[in-house]
């Protein structure tokens, strides 16, 4: 059989399969139920889709994800040093919000060590940040304060920013259930985690500090995946945290769309499970779920920042394994 004949047959088979799986209605094309598909075609399609999803998406069950990485000896997951090459960021001007502690400080520390110019943007400093001596430090910035955020660009004196890392966040520690809701705390989380990054990004862009070719990194969380709640929150709860991260993800995607014609890429990153003050309430499951020191988490984040481009803009990535997280 010639190559051209084989190509035609493949096309005809694909067309027939599509025809079997759809029907026409006054409102357009609608999918038929699987019952109307020949069993072999339906099974083959489901298998192909499942394989494609497995290659594209990480899995929601954190302990199972970590266990699988161990079983498969996944070096990318278990040893970030095996793939880590931060040379791309040397000499870049990188602004980091929430740089004074936690994963924000760990990212800032690693950035400086690999030769980046760090611009720390925080409400207040810390002994660790002062010892780090960033290239620039902008203090007094509460990301919930419109007026304060509007002053950021004017306080940065070293020129345009190559990469903005929106890291500042907030996590209300008590577990929220229907009889223990704290609406003020929920609004605070949404304000800090979703509106905060938008305020900072807008301030730097409108202030002329995010030119074409720059990129914006949103540090969000797998907790913002709606489709994963049935696995990760089978009994619900923690309303404010998950709503704030879902809102942050929505904001990030919308920003990525608006900035496409401006040549500014937006990366949406789950930094992985890191051993920080913010996750200390989960310390009892750190080892079971593969939590890592924040210095390791920082390298995972920087590794994924190196992959952000206009081709990947708007994608939601798990820094543990580099795979996508579904919305």
Phi/psi at 210 (5° precision): -120, 85
CA distance 98 to 61: 28
Q: What is the pTM of this model?
A: 0.84
Q: Which residues pair with 317 in a beta bridge?
A: 269, 324
The Cα–Cα gap between 65 and 114 comes to 30
Q: What is the pLDDT of residue 9?
A: 42
175 three-state secondary structure? coil
Residue 210's CB is within 10 A of a number of other CB atoms, namely 25
What is 119-139 written as a DSSP string?
EEE-SS--HHHHHH--SEEE-
How far is the C-alpha of 260 from the C-alpha of 263, rounded, in Å? Answer: 5
Contacts of 281 (CB under 8 A, 6+ apart): 173
Q: Which two tokens stand for residue 103?
A: 């994963």
What is d(CA 58, CA 300) in angstroms, rounded to the nearest whole number? Answer: 15
Contacts 24+ apart (CB under 8 A), 145-153: 146/199, 149/199, 149/200, 149/202, 149/203, 150/203, 151/203, 152/121, 152/200, 152/203, 152/204, 152/207, 153/203, 153/204, 153/206, 153/207, 153/208, 153/209
* CA–CA dist 181, 192 (Å, integer): 18
pLDDT confidence of residue 285: 86
Residues contacting 240, CB < 8 A, separation 6+? 172, 176, 182, 185, 186, 187, 188, 189, 190
Q: What is the DSSP letter of 257?
A: H
Residue 34: predicted pLDDT: 42
Q: What is the pLDDT of residue 18?
A: 38
Cβ count within 10 A of residue 215:
24
All residue ranges of the chain with pLDDT < 50 are 1-37
In this prediction, residue 10 carries a pLDDT of: 42
CA distances from 116 to 90, 91, 96, 121, 223 (A): 5, 5, 12, 15, 30
Measured between alpha carbons, how far is 257 from 186 in angstroms, rounded to an integer?
A: 27
CB atoms inside a 10 Å sphere around CB 206: 11
Q: Which residue has the tokens 């599509």?
A: 18
Judge residue 309's burial from the number of C-beta atoms within 10 Å of its C-beta, 0-12 exposed, 13-18 middle, 19 or more buried: exposed
């Amino acid at each position: 059989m010639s190559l051209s004949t084989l190509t035609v047959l493949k096309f005809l088979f694909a067309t027939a399969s599509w025809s079997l799986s759809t029907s026409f209605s006054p409102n357009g094309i609608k999918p038929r139920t699987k019952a109307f598909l020949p069993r072999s075609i339906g099974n083959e399609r489901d298998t192909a889709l499942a394989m494609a999803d497995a290659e594209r998406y990480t899995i929601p069950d954190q302990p199972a994800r970590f266990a699988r990485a161990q079983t498969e000896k996944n070096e990318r997951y278990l040893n970030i040093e095996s793939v880590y090459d931060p040379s791309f960021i040397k000499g870049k001007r990188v602004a980091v919000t929430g740089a004074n502690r936690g994963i924000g400080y760990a990212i800032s520390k690693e950035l400086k060590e690999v030769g980046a110019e760090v611009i720390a943007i925080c409400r207040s400093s810390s002994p660790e940040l002062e010892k780090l001596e960033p290239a620039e430090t902008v203090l007094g910035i509460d990301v919930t304060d419109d007026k304060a955020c509007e002053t950021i660009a004017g306080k940065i004196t070293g020129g345009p920013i190559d990469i903005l890392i929106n890291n500042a966040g907030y996590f209300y520690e008590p577990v929220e259930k229907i009889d223990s809701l704290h609406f003020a705390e929920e609004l605070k989380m949404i304000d800090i985690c979703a509106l905060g990054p938008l305020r900072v990004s807008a301030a730097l862009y409108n202030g002329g500090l995010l030119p074409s070719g720059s990129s914006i990194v949103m540090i969000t969380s797998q907790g913002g995946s709606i489709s994963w709640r049935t696995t990760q929150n089978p009994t619900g709860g923690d309303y404010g945290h998950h709503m704030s991260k879902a809102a942050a993800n929505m904001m990030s995607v919308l920003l990525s769309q608006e900035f496409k014609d401006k040549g500014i890429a937006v990366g949406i990153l789950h930094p992985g499970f890191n051993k920080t003050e913010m996750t200390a309430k989960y310390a009892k499951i750190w080892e079971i779920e593969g939590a890592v020191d924040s210095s390791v988490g920082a390298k995972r984040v920087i590794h994924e920042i190196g992959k952000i481009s206009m081709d990947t803009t708007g994608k939601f990535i798990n820094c543990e394994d580099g795979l996508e997280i579904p919305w």
